[in-house]
Amino acid sequence: MKFKYKITYSLLLITALVTFGGCNKNPLDQKPTGSYTTGNFWRNQDDVIAGVLGIYNVLYVEDWIGHDLYAFDDQSDDICVDGDHPDFKAIERFNIDPSLQLIYITWPFAYEQIERANNAITYIPKVPVMDDAIRNRSLGEAYFLRAYAYFVLNQIYGEIPVIKEDNVQNGNYNVPKSSVDSVRAFVESDLLKAAELLPESYGDADKGRVSKGAAWGLLTKLYMFEDKYQSAITYGTKVITNANYALAPNYADNFTVGKQESNSELLFAVWNKSSEASPSNQSPISIYFSPRAWQGWGFHHPTQNFADAFEPNDTVRKRTTLLSVGDSIPHQTSLNTIDATNAYQMFAGMEGQQTGRMLPSYSTTGYYIRKYTAYMPNDDGNLNFDLKQPLLRTADIYLLVAEAKIRMSGNGAGDAEINVVRNRAGLASLSNAGMPELIHERRVELGGENTRWQDLLRWDKDKIINLDTIVNKPKAASPLPPYNGAVVIPARTFTRPKDYYMPLPQPVIDESKGIIKQNPNY
Amino acid sequence: MICNSKLNKTMHPNNYGNTPPKPGFLPAKMLLIMRLTAVLLLAAAMHVSAAGLTQKVTIAKKNASLEQIFEILQQQSGYSFMFNSHTLANAKKVDIQVNNATVEEVLKLCFSNQAFTYVVKDKVIIVTPKEDDGAGAFNAPPPPPQHVTGTVKDEAGKPVEGAAVTIAKTTIGVLTDKQGNFDIAVPTAGGYVLEVSFIGYKTVSKPVTVGGAGLTGVAITLQAATTGLADVVVVGYGVQSKKDVTGTISSVKGDDIKNLPVSNVATALQGRAAGVDIISGDGAPGSTPSIRIRGTGTINSADPLVVIDGVPSGGLNDVNPNDIASVEILKDASSSAIYGTRAANGVVLVTTKKGNYGEQLKTSFNYYTGQNKPIKYLDMLTAPDLAMLKKESYTNDGLNVPTIWNNPYYSTQRTDWQRALMGKGTVQNADIAVRGGNSTSTYSVSGNFYDDKGMIPNSYFKRYSFRINSEHKLGKRIVVGENVMYANTDGTSPDTRSTQAGLVWSAIRFNPAIPVFNADGTWGTSQADNQLGDINNPVATASEKDAYNKNDRLLANGYAELEIIKGLKLHANYGYDQSTGDNYSFNIAMPTQTRGPSISSLGRSFSKSYSFLEEYYLSFNRQVAPGHNLGVTAGYSSQIFKGNYFSASRSGFSDTSIDQRVLNLGSSQGNGGGNYNAAGLQSAFVRANYSFKNRYLLTATMRADGSSKFEKGKRWGYFPAFSAGWRISDESFYDGRIKDVVNTLKITGGWGQLGNQNIGDFQYLSGIGYGGGFGYSTGTGTVYQNGSAITNLANPNVTWERAVMTNISLEFALLKNKVYGTVTYFNKNTSDMLVPYQLVETFGAQTNLPDDGGNITLPNQNIGQLNNRGVEIELNYQGKLGKLNYTLGANGSFLSNKVTKLYGKSTYLAGSQYGRENVDISRTYEGQPIASFFGFKTAGLYQTQADIDKDANVANDGNKDNIKPGDVRFVDINGDGVINDQDRVNLGNPNPTFVFGFHGYLTYKGFDFSFNFAGATGFKLYNADRLAGLDATQVFNWYADQKNRWHGAGTSNSIPRLSNANLNNNYRSSDLWVQNGAYLSLKSISVGYTFTKIHISDVVLPDIRLYASSYNLFVLTKYSGYTPELGYTSGNLQRGVDVAQYPQARNLTIGASVNF
């Protein structure tokens, strides 16, 4: 290499070295790119709003609030199971094993909701700049939704592991169960925070979010499960005396598309949206509760005993709650042919005709729950998934307050609250109502809304009722032909205290490596 | 006109007479020379007696030159002649006519009245001028030669006999005598370079100045090279004399692996180094093997760090094997700890060829071409047998035989699908290199073209690569240089893993009655009947395949070295490594094929990944006091990795002609995607080497490494290592008989910690999904809005995997340093191994849940532990037998691998399930080797109903009534009388417990011969393809072995009866499909011949080596599949499972290398 070239080469190389030198500044300071992580999310108000909507998102899940929780209510005397889920039937008959699918499948989604809430609770306070009202509201929503998941878990399983935000930060998920009382205390503290942070009401754009009323309402319910009557009355009264949470003028408004969005009575509901583009935007509860012949899967059939519970003139609530043979639903367009098995007196002489009325062959009992079925107004025969799924209504709170008052002060103490509910249903007022009246009122007001079994358990624990007398009665169908009062589910046996709670799912026990112990008696 | 002058004992200065040969110029006829050389070799090989010259010849020639006569004599007698044709030109012409005369008689005639005489050595007749002849015979008497004399001794001072002493750039040469003395004549006074070489020693070049009176007393000391002990090895950030090394490093020279018809350097390393297991991917062109150094050290990426010319970089794929000067494999903690972060799996240092200072320009050109063929085909049923057995299977179940099996069309053999799919492939390679230097600069430029067309149509791998490097001394204190490699690869390989569309899988199973082409020219298809199976004509799929995977790689570094004071140097090194990928795949609609897409689609993607390296280090090497040597290397390194990609696809191409396959013409938009990423490493390192009197050696290393993959506070890892060595044989007490036997003895031992950070980025952060899948509706009108949620859980504590390794090694040399060996014991414990979080049900929804919602994936957790330990033995022997020089090497490694901790006793990590049956084959349990096979043990087949009735294995089994004679007898391990999942056990270890290789390199004159065997024993293979091939429930063709099925008591004890219903579940994972994997494979064999210093009149032709070689010439194994080298199929969690991978090819090539 000639000297001249060497000089040129060397200059080039040295230039290159100097250019590249020091190019690796802060090599360890790398940020995730092209995807969100906790390292580059939760930056601003938009992230917070999205993160909170993500918690609500879990409510749609079929195996969780979207339906499967309702299968536990099949243990009550209101409804019986039909369909191809042997695990539902095993639970209904108290033939319960920790490996049952239904025992397991709801569990992880509860913790999914908790996980998302824990993240929101961790990161929302750290967002540097955002509207404080929205920050508070969002935190309140997260606390409420976490409390709700624990409240449900506690009702079903009793003692459960409590994962809080610091468990998430430490990656410490394998923790022992907390006692029933401490789970409830945790729910209470979350709900108190939520009640503090949440607004009383929302503008048009945010309807459907939980409010102070939802937190107060759930607190009322929690206190009733803890037999803290005074607290129940305190928080329940905040709900029932607040115009933002007034009862809907018509009972049916709570279950009617178009009447729900501005319905002050719906303290908490799954805010479904019919959407072809994104089928996850809705809870599948309509499918599970609607007749198979009419686009549903028809898993739960009300008993004659429940139909009989309605007072003769309680037609508003009965018509809204129960679909009986011969009934039709607006915009329901699937027509079925009346054949020999359907030709009992209501359809006598109509054989061979097609009808949009409920036929006897649809149901094992002669009834369906009517509250979750609506059809598209365009008459395409499809279920209308705009129907919201109520989870907590002001009417429930009225009755809880009434119950607290009766249990604290004796018969008649809750008359005022009971009568508000009765009058709205078009029924006459009662006086000097005691627990039997209260129990009756809750059953018919809240029928099909997954409250009956938990109420019965609560009253049995407090020895207000004896569950044996209820469970020992077979579940029977309508006395009308072709059912002729047939026994659908034979008499069952309730075992105390075992059947107060479900066992923890077997995988939960197995995978915890001894950290989590099974509930007693399983 | 002397060939192979350095080793030709017949040569003597006197033979050259008085005519000074011009350097490099000795006229002769090339053909004659070649023949002569060949004859010389032959003569020696046959040990023909020199006595006599009695062979009979017949010659009639007038006015012939002596040369012409010699030629005839040689043809007829086989004797060769050696002469200086320049001087012989002065010889008188002769007339000669003899019939059946002896050679001696003819010679007498020829040499009468000549100024020449001759001597006979072996079968060579050497012609020399008569010494006492008068000067009048010659026109111009040349000046007298000058003699250079001296002695050649070895390091111990003993004379070396037979060393070749030559004058560089001439053909003048002599051999030393018994006293090691030589006397070599040079034509004139002046400056010369003496080159002294002897087998087993390093060649010495010594410049001498010869005066008018010659030169005497030249003393040359040869240093042993036999053992490699004197070699220099490349270590991290420097080089070290091998004798001072205290770690365990295997070194493979570029010459040992050159010209093998393989695309990847790693493939060529198989069997070359102890403790280095090269695990073939598959036989597809361009397939990348896995390198496992001292076992599989983690369930995560267990690939070693590859450092090319000082740049930690991606794979070896793009490096032309012929550019490689040496590959060093750092195996133990001490040697690799300087690469702390990424060294847990060992380090592979690749050094490419450079020019040398003061070396004349040298050019080498190399070309080879050859063929690939399958080593074997599997025996499948022919159409008539298949139809017969299908009928039997339905009849056995009491079912109606589907009509197709009574259709004569499907009982007619038409196609052997394996042969239709897999035929002949070709491989060719050409490379050229120019290297050299002057006193202040070196340079090297090389180019390469490699083209491998596989056995399956449209599977290929092509590489163009170009490499340039140079180094320059700028003054006395500064050295600068660079290495630049550019490579372009282009390849595609078919799907040969899937049990839906896998090509080899399909070829094995496609119905043999179906023709490749129907009579109308369309592809044969299985569409006619479900009984033909839902697979495509594999020849059609392969032939219609239109895809490529192109990659451009630029790997460049520039470096500078400044000597601050004597022994202290500052180094700077900047590297850039970039890969740009361009993928194209056109899937043409094949509606006539069962699995053919109904519409055509095109997918394209581009990706780019690159890294910057920035390093500074100081090195100090000096004798600090008499007998005390200290070397210190300390520095800083950082590397940033970035990458991005985008992809797009469209479908619905109405025009599918080859030139219209562009995205524009697709009618409907498919997926588009893209992303980018970044990661970084930052390190500081220091290493100190200390030696006292060259006998006591100490090395200490420390590297601090930071990785962006971990959370602040968990980023930095510290990796110390220590080692020590004792050269016992240099002690004064080490003498006498033991030193005569064990000439060299060195013990080394070390301990160190290494790290592995090769996991996904940012696991310390939770991944967040955003969009419609996470949203909710609010508001009047119920407006749906996007939401977000955690999709990956974080493990804020995620950090380095660690490996702690202990190493004890004995190095020795025997038989006058001709045998060199090492024996090493190592014990490597991986701790903090990253394994996925074990499911706990409080994480939230899991991916393993049915239905909706399951969208949380789990991070890794540093909880696993793994142990690898073993013994490595390497032996090399360099010897000489007459003119045969040979180097032999053997190595073996015993290895035991065990996962010592996972989550607990009964937990495991699963490999992927196999195929359509979802067979659960591989499980990694605590306490067992990684990726062990799992399933039922069997005890033959039930032969009679009575066997079943009295069988304790199924005494309480509810399925007992369904079991029939001819079904598999599964063993009831837990003794409950029921066969269920609880009875499954470990069925074998897929990791060889002994891996070995031996290789040899032999030269004889111009011939060279080399071979390399590789083998492994002590492991099992799982023939999943056979499982599917004998599965009677599968609608496809079956293995020919199905003819040996059970069809009556005593007919078979291993192949179950044919039953479609398969009520006994005969084809679940069991030891029926587990086979011994031991094999011995002749990986490479090569024979060549080098023609040197050939002259055509005044022109010296370059050295030419012609060679033939073969790769995978044969494999000895009892394994029944295509090949026992099956590789990994599910990360490190599944190995040795036969899923009808692209089979290994047998390859035959011929080639030529030219050096000038």
Q: Are A415 and A429 spatial neighbours (Cβ–Cβ below 8 Å)? A: yes
Does residue B78 contact residue B99 with C-beta atoms inside 8 Å? no
Mutation test of the interface with chain A: which of B559, B714, B788, choosing the one with the most A Cβ atoms within 10 A? B788
Residue A181 to residue A194: CA distance in whole angstroms:
20
Q: Are B228 and B876 in contact (CB under 8 A)?
A: yes
Q: What is the dihedral of CA B388, B394, B399, B402, to 10 degrees?
A: -60
Residue located via tokens 């493939």 = B267
pLDDT of residue B184: 85
pLDDT of residue B142: 55
Helix and strand element counts for chain B (H, E)? 14, 55
**Is A280 part of the contact surface with chain B (CB cutoff 8 Å)?**
yes
For the cut 50, the answer to whether the pLDDT of residue B180 exceeds it is: yes
Query: Which residues of A are less than 8 Å from B682 in CB distance?
Result: 24, 27-28
Q: Write the pLDDT tens digit of every residue in B430-473.
A: 999 999 888 889 999 999 999 999 999 999 999 999 999 999 98
Interface of A with B in 32-51 (CB under 8 A): 32-39, 41, 47, 49-51
Residue B794 has pLDDT above 50, yes or no: yes
What CA–CA distances, in Å, run from B840 to A120, A158, A511, B662, B837?
A: 21, 19, 6, 48, 8
Portion of chain B with pLDDT greater than 90, in percent? 46
Q: Which of residues 64-93 of A touch B (CB under 8 A)?
A: 64
pLDDT attached to residue B671: 81
Cα–Cα distance list, B925 to A38, B301, B320, B911 (Å): 33, 18, 40, 11
Q: What is the band of A14 on the pLDDT scale with cuts at 50, 70, 90? A: low
Over the stretch B1038-1080, which tens digit does the pLDDT of each residue have?
999 999 999 999 999 999 999 988 889 999 999 999 999 999 9
Identify all chain B residues contacting A50, using CB atoms and an 8 Å cutoff. 770, 774-775, 785-788
Q: Which residues of A touch B443 (CB under 8 A)?
A: 1
Closest Cβ–Cβ partner in A9, A28, A111 for B682? A28
**Are B1125 and B1078 a contacting pair, CB within 8 Å?**
no
- DSSP readout, B123-169? TEEEEEE-TT--GGGSSSPPPPPEEEEEEEEETTS-B-TT-EEEETT
Considering only residues 367 to 396 of chain A, which have any Cβ-Cβ distance to chain B shorter than 8 Å? 386
Rounded to a whole number, what is the distance in Å from the CA of B193 to chain A's nearest CA? 24
* A278 touches B at CB < 8 Å: yes
**pLDDT-derived band at A5, boundaries 50, 70, 90:** low
Chain B residues inside the 8 Å CB shell of A31: 678
Tell me if B840 and A512 make a contact (CB, 8 A cut-off). Answer: yes
Nearest by CB to residue A24, choosing from B612, B774, B783, is: B612
pLDDT of residue B235: 80
Hey, are the CB atoms on A511 and B841 less than 8 Å from each other? yes
pLDDT at position B844 is 79
- Interfacial B residues in 449-478 facing A (CB < 8 Å): 470, 472, 474
Instruction: Name the residue among B612, B715, B852 with its Cβ closest to that of A28.
Output: B715
Instruction: Write out the DSSP string of A45-92.
Output: HHHHHHHHHHHHHGGG-TTTTTTGGGGGGGGSSSEEE-SS-HHHHHHH
Q: Does A37 contact B762 at a Cβ distance shorter than 8 Å?
A: yes
- The values of phi and psi at residue B873, to 5°, are -130, 130
Neighbours of A146 (CB within 10 A): 29
Query: Which of A108, A278, A280 has the CB atom closest to B841's CB atom?
Result: A108
Which of A408-422, B201-215, B593-607, B896-910 has maximum average pLDDT?
A: A408-422
Any idea which of A178-187, B71-80, B1118-1127 has the lowest mean pLDDT?
B71-80
B775 touches chain A (CB under 8 A): yes
Q: According to the model, what pLDDT value does residue A433 have?
A: 96
Residue range B1076-1095, pLDDT digits in tens: 999 999 999 999 998 877 77
pLDDT confidence bin for A448, thresholds 50/70/90: very high
Chain B interface includes A275 (CB < 8 A): yes
C-alpha dist (Å) from residue A308 to A305, A311, A346, A466, B397: 5, 8, 19, 20, 56
The residue in chain B having the minimum alpha-carbon distance to the alpha carbon of residue A62 is: B852
Nearest to A27 among B640, B777, B793 (CB): B640
pLDDT at position B16 is 38
CA distance A382 to chain B (A): 19
Tell whether the torsion through CA atoms of B920, B921, B923 and B928 is positive or negative.
positive
Rounded to 5 degrees, what are φ and ψ at B26?
A: -145, 95
Residues in B touching A37 (Cβ below 8 Å): 762, 765-768, 792, 794
Query: Model confidence over A195-224: pLDDT tens digits?
Result: 999 999 999 999 999 999 999 999 999 999
B66-77 and B30-46 are packed helices; what angle lies between their axes, rounded to 10 degrees? Answer: 40
Residue B143: predicted pLDDT: 61
Query: Of B573, B640, B777, B798, which to mutate for an interface test with A (greatest number of A Cβ within 10 Å)?
Result: B777
Q: Using a CB–CB cutoff of 8 Å, tell me whether A5 touches chain B.
A: no
Question: What is the predicted pLDDT for the residue at B51?
Answer: 43
Using an 8 Å CB-CB cutoff, list chain A residues near B715: 28
pLDDT for B344-353, tens place per residue? 889 999 989 9
Distance from CA of B797 to the nearest CA of A (A): 8
Q: Residue B854 — very low, low, confident or very high, per pLDDT cuts 50/70/90?
A: low
Question: Are B642 and B698 contacting, i.e. CB atoms less than 8 angstroms apart?
Answer: no
User: Per-residue confidence at B224, pLDDT binned at 50, 70, 90?
Assistant: low
What spatial distance separates the first Cα and last Cα of chain A, rounded to whole Å?
88
Question: Which of B480, B639, B784 minimises the CB distance to A281?
Answer: B784
* pLDDT above 70: residue A21: no
Q: What is the pLDDT of residues B127-145, one digit of tens each?
A: 766 654 444 444 445 566 7
Closest approach of A370 to chain B, Cα-based (Å): 22
Instruction: Report CB contact under 8 Å: B708, A207.
Output: no
Range name among B183-192, B466-475, B611-620 with the lowest pLDDT average? B183-192
- How many Å apart are CA B349 and CA B310, to the nearest integer? 8
Asked if A105 is an interface residue toward chain B (Cβ–Cβ < 8 A), one would say yes
ipTM of the complex: 0.93
State how far the Cα of A3 lies from the Cα of A9, in Å rounded to an integer: 10
Q: Average model confidence (pLDDT) for chain A?
A: 92
pLDDT band for position A20 (cuts 50, 70, 90): low
Residue B778 is nearest to which of A116, A209, A512, comparing CB atoms? A209
Q: Take residue B131 and report the two structure tokens written for it.
A: 């010494």
Q: How high does pLDDT run on average in chain B?
A: 84
* Distance, CA of B443 to CA of B481 (rounded, Å): 9
168-207 in chain A: CB under 8 A from chain B: 169-171, 173-175, 204-207
CB pairs under 8 A between A and B: 266
Q: Which residues of B touch A115 (CB under 8 A)?
A: 790, 793, 843-844, 856
Give the pLDDT of residue A256. 96
Beta pairing class for B80-82 and B124-129: parallel
pLDDT band with cut points at 50, 70 and 90 for residue A513: confident
Q: What is the DSSP string of B698-732?
A: EEEEEEEEEETTS-TTTSEEEEEEEEEEEEGGGST
Which of helix, strand or coil describes residue B338? helix
Residues from chain B contacting residue A39 (CB–CB below 8 Å): 762, 765
CB B215 within 8 A of CB B183: no
Q: What would you report as the CA-atom Rg of chain A, rounded to the nearest whole angstrom? A: 28
The pLDDT > 70 percentage for chain B reads: 90
In B583-612, the residues whose Cβ lies within 8 Å of chain A are 612
Q: Write the pLDDT tens digit of every residue in B563-615.
A: 988 889 999 999 999 999 999 999 999 988 988 888 999 999 999 999 999 99
pLDDT-wise least confident of B4-8, B328-332, B774-778:
B4-8
